[in-house]
Amino acid sequence: MSTSSILKNLNINSFKNKFVIITGASGVLGLSISNFFNKLGANLILIDRSHKKKIKPFMNNKVHYFKTDFTIQKQMENLVRNLNARYSKIDILINNASYTGSDKYWVKKFGKETMDDWDKVFKVSYQAAFYLSQGISNILKNSNGRVINIGSIFGESVPNIKNYKGTKMCSPAAYSISKNSLIHLTKWLAVNMAPKVNVNMISPGGIKRNQAQIFKKKYLHKVPLNRMCSEEDIIGPIIFLSSNLSNYITGHNLIVDGGYSTI
């Protein structure tokens, strides 16, 4: 790629009038991603189980909301049907919806985890990514689109249980294993949606929230950059994988963890 091509692809207007789907759009990370694409002039298709309209169009772009609970198959089917009926162009699909540590009612220690917990986590964090990618695949192909799955470093490694001692926190098995499955799904989709669609994944390290100080201290002991991940740290890689700068990248899992996984 020539210097002029790179500069052209870095143009701030690269996402103007693009149609971007973001799932889990009402969560902290989903909201940050939505705000950023909104300011770049993209048309947003925001999906979440709650119906909180927090994003207002920044330019002349559009913001559409779809209330969908990914644990309910009928709602998933209605969503895909509506997307196909309403849009002839979808450029980027960001599968961000997931059960996380902030969803306190399912974050349980090993002895308390249930099959119902597993079922819900896999439906939201894994199956929905497949069903949505499959359901709008023709629109994505016609748009030479991108799919970006949001994973976790714990999709490739097991959380260190010592980090959680002395806190009320834990990392349920279903979370890590759903994210591990998402890595393989990303590769599978990359092969089966090629050559028209690029499919990649971003696996963040621990995102700074309201974790106990004792947890942060133990966690940071393994982070060369000496800080936890922020939403801004993830948005940069998302923009890269959404742009023409990553035209020759597909099936890749980009780890964004400040070096945590290198030690």
pLDDT, residue 263, reads 86
| Residue-wise pLDDT tens digits, 237-251 | 999 999 999 999 999
Read off the pTM: 0.93
What is the sign of the dihedral through the CA atoms of 163, 253, 258 and 21? negative
Q: Check if the beta carbon of residue 258 is closer than 8 Å to that of residue 234.
A: no
| Residue-wise pLDDT tens digits, 35-75 | 999 999 999 999 999 877 778 888 889 999 999 999 999 99
Distance CA 129, CA 64 (A): 19
Predicted confidence (pLDDT) at residue 95 exceeds the cutoff of 90: yes
**Nearest CA to 238 among 3, 8, 1, 18?**
18
Predicted confidence (pLDDT) at residue 181 exceeds the cutoff of 60: yes
Predicted confidence (pLDDT) at residue 122 exceeds the cutoff of 60: yes
Q: Which range marks the domain in which residue 100 is found? A: 3-262
Q: What one-character DSSP code corresponds to residue 161?
A: G
Q: Which two tokens stand for residue 10?
A: 């870095």
Interior angle at CA 224, CA 220 and CA 230, nearest 5: 65
Distance CA 134, CA 131 (A): 5
Q: Check if the beta carbon of residue 253 is closer than 8 Å to that of residue 186.
A: yes
Total count of domains within the chain = 1
Q: What is the CATH number of the domain that holds 36?
A: 3.40.50.720
